[in-house]
Structure 1
Amino acid sequence: MAEKLHVSLVTPEKELFSGDVDQVIAPGSEGEFGVLVNHAPFMTTLAEGMVTILDGDKKRMYQVRGGFADVNAEGMTILAESAEEYVETVH
């Protein structure tokens, strides 16, 4: 089994997502960035935009407004000022 990245997405109100995934793509204040398992540690501020969580063929998306992302040996934590899950609608 391939290694996974543990990610938590939280706001001041609640935890929106926690789990082991393949990749996270997030809107950093200096541009969009991606994180895989065993990524080098770093911390950055977040811009308003979409956080995309990829695991196999599953994709979850969250609209975030501000906050921080912290990547360390334990995984990735996204502390968003506000966030809500984006749900695609099919017409």
Structure 2
Amino acid sequence: MADLHFELVTPEKLVRSDEVHMVVVPGVEGDFGVMAGHAPFMTTLKDGSLQVFKTAGGQPETIKVSGGFAEVGDKGLTVLAESAEA
């Protein structure tokens, strides 16, 4: 069930706003997965790839990101990246 609200934003535009199952994020202290109900926190991103899982067990969509921050809160996951490309 897709139940995590995910937004990916760059300085130029809103790249993606969607309901997904899980997102794996390249944090500076290591990659981490975010699903609905994840504890709130904020971290800095390292250059790498987001893996967006639309459904449980599905194949991930990969989006390359560089720089920025990720914030997990009550409204879901927001990734503020310096750049992003699918």
TM more than 0.5: yes
Q: CA deviation at 1:55?
A: 1.1
Q: CA deviation at 1:83?
A: 0.8
**Pair 1:66-2:71 in alignment:** no
Q: CA deviation at 1:15?
A: 1.1
**Size of the alignment, in residue pairs?**
84
Partner of 1:15: 14
Q: Which deviations, in whole Å up to 9, do the C-alpha atoms of 1:38-73 show, x marking residues without a partner?
A: 100000000000001101235321100110000001
Partner of 1:29: 28
How much is the aligned-residue C-alpha RMSD, in angstroms? 1.1
Overall identity of the aligned pairs, in %:
49
Structure 1 counterpart SS, 2:25: strand
Q: Which runs of 4+ in 1 moved over 6 A?
A: none
Q: Which runs of 5+ in 2 are unaligned?
A: none
Q: Which amino acid aligns with 2:11?
A: P
What is the rounded CA distance, in whole Å, between the counterparts of 1:41 and 1:13 in structure 2? 26
What is the rounded CA distance, in whole Å, between the counterparts of 1:35 and 1:23 in structure 2? 6
TM-score relative to the length of structure 1: 0.87
TM-score relative to the length of structure 2: 0.92
Partner of 2:37: 38
Q: Which runs of 5+ in 1 are unaligned?
A: 86-91
What is the rounded CA distance, in whole Å, between the counterparts of 2:53 and 2:44 in structure 1? 21
